[in-house]
Amino acid sequence: MVAVNHSPTPPTEVRSITDALSTPFEPREIKFKPQMVKNNKALAIAYVDVRLIQDRLDDVLGVENWQDDYEILPDGSVTCQLRINLGGQWITKMDVGSPSEQPDGGDRLKAAFSDALKRAAVKFGIGRYLYRLPAQWVDYDPMKKQIVRPPQLPAFAVPAAKEPAPAPKTTKTSPETARMEPVAAAPAAEDAAAKPPGLPADGQELHRRLQDYDAKLAAGKLCPRGALLAHVTQAGVKAGYSANLTEWTGPAIPFAVEAVKAFEQAARAAKAEPRSAA
């Protein structure tokens, strides 16, 4: 018997997830390699490390909502099947990665695995904008075999500038949401002045709490697993924060708490709406 999902993720939440997946990476994370060299000039090609792809999948979907399978082909290339849980359905995209030209066989195969995952992830929008970057010739050091100065990224390839988030509003908090803000140990005087007690201390703690609370909401059938993380991430991106929740700090922390309250309120209201008769 095939299980039927009676509570699909609303289109707006699916859109939030896909938007968060395709958000540009921080410029400092982008690397460039020479595709073609002419004397002291090189045609620079942008790329990212595979760990950034894995981090993006973890941050937006949660570690339990994506899977990757690989197959080594006779010519040394590798196929990757990347599956993500989107809107309550598992969707698979596949692509092939090529081995590098490194002398060590293990390194060549490792490069093929990384290339395959990155190419499959592009089909979900992760890093796809890098393929739209204009080709640029830059200064190249033929002795060191490296680019002297990387090219400037265009505006569409840079995340929106961070803006100060509005001060948290005083709203009625449900008992469940209150558990999102457990009372912490007594902070030092300077810390107490810096941020309200009970808030996550940093992005790492924020991400952990969000994952836990996301699981509680999903267990209560208020939303599909991963929907809360996707909502907070997308709201933060629109407000100018990083798509990587673990990097959030300062005003982004109370902003995230308010986003959680708004999400839960909307989820509970949607669940309480009476359904029309067939």
pLDDT band at 169 (very low <50, low <70, confident <90, very high): low
Per the document, the length of the chain is 278
Q: Which residue has the higher pLDDT, 46 or 224?
A: 46
What is the per-residue pLDDT across 175-217, written as a single tens digit (0 to 9) for each?
555 455 443 443 443 443 344 457 888 888 888 888 888 888 8
Instruction: Tell the burial category of 164 from Cβ atoms under 10 Å away from its Cβ (0-12, 13-18, 19+).
Output: exposed
CB 61 within 8 A of CB 53: no
Q: Enter the CATH code of domain 19-157.
A: 3.30.390
Spatial distance between the Cα atoms of 47 and 109, rounded to a whole number of angstroms: 18
What is the per-residue pLDDT across 212-260, written as a single tens digit (0 to 9) for each?
888 888 788 888 777 887 888 878 877 878 777 888 888 888 888 988 9
pLDDT of 63 over the 70 cut = yes
Domain coordinates of the chain in residue numbers? 19-157, 175-272
Beta strands in 113-192 (DSSP E): 136-141, 146-147
pTM passes above 0.85: no
Q: What percent of the chain has pLDDT over 90?
A: 33
